[in-house]
Amino acid sequence: MRRKAAGYAVLVLFALIFLYPFVIQIANSLKTEADAAAHPLSPIPHPFTAASFEKILHGTDFPLWLANSVLMTVLVTLGRVFFDSLAGYALARLRFRGRDTVSATILAMMAVPGVVLLIPKFLVLNQLGIYNSYTALILPLLVDATGIFIMKQAFAAVPIDVEEAAHVDGAGIVRTYWSVVLPMVRPALITLTILSFQGSWNDFTHSLIAVQNPDLYTLPRGLADLVTGSLGSGTQYPLKLGASLLTIIPVAVIFLVFQRYFVRDANEGAAKG
């Protein structure tokens, strides 16, 4: 009993250590600038004020950044789930010349650091004439190697007998993919959705080389602009931390909502196995 209590105490301690920075972020976003500068580690605002959020929404381009991020993230997430699943199914099930080469290339791309591709991406976007546009923000992110690999592995784990039975019933490749196999890899789809949403929502480096027009800034790019002091002198802790807090909320909500289905489906799969 004592050992169990000690274990829970250690877990609670680590949980508090993990949560404390978030508590400080929330507290400082509800402080005045003077209070945040004088007592940045205090978890209690004195006095309590929501002026920073009002300034964020009405004194900055945060609503525009939010709209750009929502547009980019929704389209990129939908595109990745659709195109990555198509490519993953083709690599897992279809027989065609060069399939092994394509699979090896995808694995090699996963090993390449993203920063290495920044200059080539910029040159390609510029040569195609889409630099500094919504197309430049969205199009290059619609497919990614990691998503294709995740879906390929998921489709490869589906028993081939299921597809053979569908073919016997007269279903073609597209119908088998869409109506039979795709619903069976829902945990992988949910994983891909979470990763795609989080990755595109938090993406900074791509927007850095894709656009320069402030009207096309996404939230990470706009927050970087705030951090560099675009609003003038002073620490601006409440403003910066409040904007960061608002940026985190959508990702946290998406993760919590989809995690429930992911855990449930994973448990059901384990029980069936």
pLDDT at 164 over 80: yes
Residue linked to tokens 């390609």: 124
Instruction: Find out whether the peptide bond into 47 is cis, omega within 30 degrees of 0.
Output: yes
The confidence score (pLDDT) of residue 40 equals: 87
Q: Which of 62-71, 154-163, 166-175, 257-266 has the lowest mean pLDDT?
A: 257-266
Q: What is the mean pLDDT of residues 53-65?
A: 90
Range 198-212 average pLDDT: 93
Segment 10-25 mean pLDDT: 91
CB 185 within 8 A of CB 155: yes
Q: What is the pTM of this model?
A: 0.86
- The arithmetic mean of pLDDT across residues 58-75, rounded, is 94
Which pLDDT value is given to residue 268?
47
Where b means 16+ CB within 10 Å and e means fewer, 164-187 reads eebeeeebeeeebbeebbbeebbb
For residue 81, the model assigns a pLDDT of 95
> Which pLDDT belongs to residue 273?
45
User: Range with the lowest mean pLDDT among 155-159, 195-199, 218-222, 261-265?
Assistant: 261-265
Side-chain half-sphere exposure of 187, counting CA atoms within 13 A: 14
Q: Looking at residue 179, what DSSP letter applies?
A: I
Query: What confidence score (pLDDT) does residue 151 get?
Result: 95
Q: What pLDDT score was predicted for residue 232?
A: 57
When the pLDDT of each residue in the chain is averaged and rounded to a whole number, the result is 88
